[in-house]
Structure 1
């Protein structure tokens, strides 16, 4: 029974006050009520009152906030809505279920806003015109399932929340947020980012808490296995886990989120996993990334807008591609629900360090209700292997997952019976089960030895640098030296800069549009980074400037390292030809010869420098190229070195060794 000082959930809904219901631990429902304030910027989220006292805030962050990072979007004016928590209490899950309505919410004229054939055409265009022209590795394009709803908004929210609470499993957050004119109800599988005071929780990484530090966690999830009728089995899941497309899709989003981690965490972050995220109708694969940061949680949120699993990579260009191919604004889809909770006084730092913990799931698997219209946005991750109608099917599966979970469409009763049967089968001695004991949890597919082995085998492909703790008491080989990294609109540079620091260099990043001629001339080591697009494009201001940067630095004779796009630009300046690949190498792992040493490297390129097969020299420049195709993998000459692959990628098992070799060459005085 609800305590005497707490109103029932129905009374809260009837009162008209803004409220939120959140289920995070599986046994209780948190109830938050308060006032709503809309703000313009993440920095404006009011974490303290006028007297400076910390307070709890739940913020709904729309996709349009990417404008804060200078990225493109369709701006629909969706507010950055903050629920200033005035009261919070928790009730047991069973009590919450007893207080919530059960009558179905009827839908009028349900259907997708974009027909299947039209969506398939969009997929084809993105693969051909965007991925095929080097604009990025993967992109998420959404469409919306819509319907009319005549039920009162608060009642609909409570009804849908009840259905999720009763039937959905595996969600990170199950929630309902009801504010004036807007309702959001969902079961998000994915924690985009969290920041908490205290020790790191990674396996084998139990570091003690440090004053002023937060443990930052990100949870990249990718790959979607739609359960067949009757439920998932180890056999059907194994086929999904062995898919090259699904595996590479997950690796690419891990790379993209490590870019964000390296931007906000002093230790760059490390990865653990992979794991399965098992839900009622879908199963996903996931990794967990952890690092430490001193940043204000609002700044952490800003630097990690938004998850590549719902946008694409590289992030900045993904937003541009989304704007080109999605004709309507996203609203809150792919944004986050961010709960800022004051820390205990003893964990706050007197010098103004972070005073709040952050817990921010991605706003996916979410239904929105506004002005009597239900909207369920769903997207598919498009990669070079994508099948247009396979991606159409993925959007249907995701929409059905949400609609079935909220009770808007019939659930898969056979799948639910299969889950119940698995729960019974997981009990060793059913005759000895206490009838009064709670029902057993369904046996997880991840516990199957064959499934566990398939998951573990994925890490054999990955760089140990990102799998292991990175702290080191010994100085790197380039200790006392410095590097300036020019960012050409791909934040792989944050991972690259972290690796440079690990090697002992004092590394700093500057955007291509801000780097000055003086910086180009005076940097001890200039690192020209990767970026999207065609390096031959004569109209692109970014390409023009990167060509100037590479030309000016090479003519000075001072140490230069060029990566991916900048490697292509350097090759062209040396008289080598550039050409598009027959098939893009986006998220492709290859073992190549780099000046006499085999190296397993991750590639994210659509264009390549190319020489006649067998050529290994061009003037003073040594060339490492494919002996059959002539595709150039690396260059080195007087004071410069370059590489086509991304040595910073998780796919580059030999990345650190190769990076050290190339830097050593670039820093070696000419003639030495």
Structure 2
């Protein structure tokens, strides 16, 4: 970080900036940070400014620490309870680094007194919300997983500075495995038209301390990295065990939960990085009371880091998927605004430099002329997610939000306990629950026999396409064969040159960004347009109607009606068409196949099913399915029915795919990280609809 220091006022003062923070009456804006892998505490002091949009964060040469509330999701047009919580920025004017032992010695050793009040949503009421989300949302096709929050609340008479600094000390002393441990105190700006803070998030001053395990996004030297963490092993009160962690790693629910959030974040990586992204891991992250599984995703980007942050709002691990509908579901089931929970801290540092424990020489080095230009893109970004965090409000209230990821296998009582366990680490630091055994009394789970093998086994379900380094999209002068050979030696080799124009229509599920990346990989020029912004579906060589949440039988839904209308337009004009998941179901319904709810939702499930005579391992995200049945005679007024589409079905009679002249559809998500055979099937279906010869290389 670029740093400036005022001269020490005393020759005996070793850490003058930390001393000033500790002596402050609360009027001094500051942040204390301990980042992963660094045995120092960073002390930041500066001026506070509020921004309306992420693009307004002032990057004028100084480091900036932004505290981003959940309400910023409105920048992407998503539904949120808008509590007015400001996007608050600490523009850093002074900083110093303090060795960790010195910081521990200087910080207040005892937590301030606080009175516990309990969770704002009682256990039985929260369990009822979990049941409703599983039945009414996941069970009705609204999405694959959702995160619902509740808050533990307390009250204290302590002033902000002693409260925050004592909590910070307790967290860096007693918590392990954190990506960032932090304390931030940011009074409202004195001038500049700052809006009054609402009562719910933090009054007029923003004061928070936490130990978050999860990086949301880093951007350094043009390399973007995301770090999806999901799946939770709750340590027994006697400490974690080898048998316990191995049982956790084998658990189907925990496995599917992680793969779903990896899929969701790979959608973001495909939008962020022209060459897509690749998956590294998995890893086991052990903390004091919990352990989580995680992956690292990485790719190259040239975006302004503020725009990169906007495109990745917010992490599916704290919202759900698909992202847009997850925000709608959250607004339906959470009656209070989220404030800063599931937002992020975002540290912008000039010079595009910084300590990065994950940096690799093979993908972060620059060749001649590749250094970022001056200006905002020359800033690095380090943005952890705001979870495992305590907020001190102006009226003395203390709140610690926590949420559980709800999937089709969720047991309401288990999710209740998960929220308690997630809040417990912070609550122990506040002195509101017993700390229990310290880190020294806990075994190293990663060192236990069988753990490494269990982690590696998870990758057997992943598509090699997304594990390999991804190349940039081909240009019109490059053949698809060359691109496929360079980026993935196992990928099919298309025989036609690049340049086919492909419109991918997004129906509020950004799996379309991954689909578009795969189509570019196969040599086509693909672009993604949201369903309600499409003007013409006849101009492109190929239209791909993408997936989305919802009931395909509901013709009152504007998205469903739009899919049906566009299918008719393309089929009537004889123009090539590919339909995926929700759009496949609508196409099947138009062709006369009945659509039914499945006995159990298939959200984030990898299945091996027949696709026109070939067994393909593909990821599925569907609550509804088209059923194989004998159709009545074609309706003379229905161009889709007249096609007499050839069906392919699984052993249960659920359609896996359809094809006919210039038309094909598929139920599975060929673009999913779970789809080991996805790129092969996508290659075959696009060749079919475009009338290209079959690929002789695609025989596996």
**Same fold flag (TM > 0.5):** yes
- Tell me if the contact between 1:9 and 1:100 (Cα under 8 Å) persists in the aligned partners: no
Does 2:501 correspond to 1:493?
no
| 338 and 344 in structure 1: CA distance in 2 versus 1, 3 angstrom threshold | closer
Q: Deviations 1:588-607 (Å, cap 9, x if unpaired)?
A: 11101111111000000001
| 246 and 313 in structure 1: CA distance in 2 versus 1, 3 angstrom threshold | same
Please state whether the residue corresponding to 1:8 is helix, strand or coil. helix
2:31 aligned residue: 20
Rounded to whole Å, the distance in 2 between the matches of 1:467 and 1:165 is 34
- Greater mean alpha carbon deviation, residues 589-598 or residues 444-453: 444-453
1:320 aligned residue: 328
How much does 1:406 deviate?
4.0
How much does 1:449 deviate?
3.3
| 366 and 353 in structure 1: CA distance in 2 versus 1, 3 angstrom threshold | closer
Does 2:165 correspond to 1:168?
no
Rounded to whole Å, the distance in 2 between the matches of 1:83 and 1:417 is 36
Which one of the candidate residues 269, 282, 292 is aligned to 1:274?
A: 282
2:365 aligned residue: none
Which one of the candidate residues 604, 611, 628 is aligned to 2:621?
A: 604
Rounded to whole Å, the distance in 2 between the matches of 1:12 and 1:450 is 50
| 556 and 487 in structure 1: CA distance in 2 versus 1, 3 angstrom threshold | same
- Greater mean alpha carbon deviation, residues 649-658 or residues 98-107: 98-107
5+ residue gaps, structure 2, are 1-11, 188-204, 354-368, 473-480, 485-493, 635-640, 694-700
Does 2:626 correspond to 1:626?
no
| 393 and 353 in structure 1: CA distance in 2 versus 1, 3 angstrom threshold | closer
- Tell me if the contact between 2:111 and 2:430 (Cα under 8 Å) persists in the aligned partners: no
Does 2:652 correspond to 1:640?
no
Rounded to whole Å, the distance in 2 between the matches of 1:131 and 1:366 is 28
1:514 aligned residue: 533
2:638 aligned residue: none
Please state whether the residue corresponding to 1:522 is helix, strand or coil. coil
Does 2:457 correspond to 1:457?
yes
| 33 and 550 in structure 1: CA distance in 2 versus 1, 3 angstrom threshold | same
| 667 and 229 in structure 1: CA distance in 2 versus 1, 3 angstrom threshold | same
- Tell me if the contact between 1:9 and 1:96 (Cα under 8 Å) persists in the aligned partners: no
How much does 1:669 deviate?
7.5
| 505 and 239 in structure 1: CA distance in 2 versus 1, 3 angstrom threshold | same
The 5 A counterparts of 1:382-531 are 382-413=406-437, 416=439, 418-419=441-442, 422=443, 444-471=444-471, 474-475=482-483, 477=494, 478=496, 479-516=498-535, 519-531=536-548
Rounded to whole Å, the distance in 2 between the matches of 1:2 and 1:605 is 63
2:398 aligned residue: 374
How much does 1:106 deviate?
2.0
Please state whether the residue corresponding to 1:380 is helix, strand or coil. strand
Q: Deviations 1:535-577 (Å, cap 9, x if unpaired)?
A: 1113211111121111111111111000000001111111111
1:195 aligned residue: 219
1:51 aligned residue: none
1:46 aligned residue: 58
2:340 aligned residue: 332
Please state whether the residue corresponding to 1:305 is helix, strand or coil. coil
- Greater mean alpha carbon deviation, residues 390-399 or residues 474-483: 474-483
- Tell me if the contact between 2:596 and 2:627 (Cα under 8 Å) persists in the aligned partners: yes
Q: Deviations 1:194-215 (Å, cap 9, x if unpaired)?
A: 0001xxxxxxxxxxxxxxxx10
- Tell me if the contact between 1:104 and 1:408 (Cα under 8 Å) persists in the aligned partners: no
Q: Deviations 1:233-258 (Å, cap 9, x if unpaired)?
A: 21111111111000000000000000
1:264 aligned residue: 272
CA RMSD between the two structures: 2.0
Rounded to whole Å, the distance in 2 between the matches of 1:585 and 1:12 is 57
- Tell me if the contact between 1:2 and 1:91 (Cα under 8 Å) persists in the aligned partners: no
Q: Deviations 1:502-537 (Å, cap 9, x if unpaired)?
A: 000000011100111xx3111100000000000111
2:254 aligned residue: 246
- Tell me if the contact between 1:161 and 1:406 (Cα under 8 Å) persists in the aligned partners: no
How much does 1:347 deviate?
8.0
1:552 aligned residue: 569
Rounded to whole Å, the distance in 2 between the matches of 1:160 and 1:353 is 34
2:44 aligned residue: 32
1:90 aligned residue: 97
| 14 and 418 in structure 1: CA distance in 2 versus 1, 3 angstrom threshold | same
Rounded to whole Å, the distance in 1 between the matches of 2:441 and 2:16 is 42
The 5 A counterparts of 1:117-136 are 117-136=124-143
5+ residue gaps, structure 1, are 49-53, 198-213, 423-443
1:434 aligned residue: none
Rounded to whole Å, the distance in 1 between the matches of 2:656 and 2:25 is 66
Rounded to whole Å, the distance in 2 between the matches of 1:598 and 1:558 is 28
- Tell me if the contact between 2:59 and 2:376 (Cα under 8 Å) persists in the aligned partners: no
Rounded to whole Å, the distance in 2 between the matches of 1:614 and 1:239 is 47
Query: TM-score when scaled to structure 2?
Result: 0.86
Query: TM-score when scaled to structure 1?
Result: 0.90
Does 2:328 correspond to 1:303?
no
| 552 and 376 in structure 1: CA distance in 2 versus 1, 3 angstrom threshold | same
1:665 aligned residue: 688
| 367 and 575 in structure 1: CA distance in 2 versus 1, 3 angstrom threshold | same
Rounded to whole Å, the distance in 2 between the matches of 1:608 and 1:22 is 50
- Tell me if the contact between 1:620 and 1:637 (Cα under 8 Å) persists in the aligned partners: yes
Rounded to whole Å, the distance in 1 between the matches of 2:49 and 2:303 is 24
- Tell me if the contact between 1:230 and 1:418 (Cα under 8 Å) persists in the aligned partners: no
Which one of the candidate residues 134, 141, 150 is aligned to 1:143?
A: 150
The count of corresponding residues between Structure 1 and Structure 2 is 621
Please state whether the residue corresponding to 1:604 is helix, strand or coil. strand
Rounded to whole Å, the distance in 2 between the matches of 1:534 and 1:150 is 51
- Tell me if the contact between 1:613 and 1:626 (Cα under 8 Å) persists in the aligned partners: no
Rounded to whole Å, the distance in 1 between the matches of 2:109 and 2:17 is 22
- Greater mean alpha carbon deviation, residues 357-366 or residues 401-410: 401-410
2:674 aligned residue: 651
Rounded to whole Å, the distance in 2 between the matches of 1:457 and 1:405 is 36
Please state whether the residue corresponding to 2:604 is helix, strand or coil. strand
Does 2:311 correspond to 1:292?
no
| 349 and 275 in structure 1: CA distance in 2 versus 1, 3 angstrom threshold | closer
Rounded to whole Å, the distance in 2 between the matches of 1:271 and 1:70 is 29
2:5 aligned residue: none
| 193 and 162 in structure 1: CA distance in 2 versus 1, 3 angstrom threshold | same
Q: Deviations 1:410-439 (Å, cap 9, x if unpaired)?
A: 1112x54523xx5xxxxxxxxxxxxxxxxx
Please state whether the residue corresponding to 2:33 is helix, strand or coil. strand
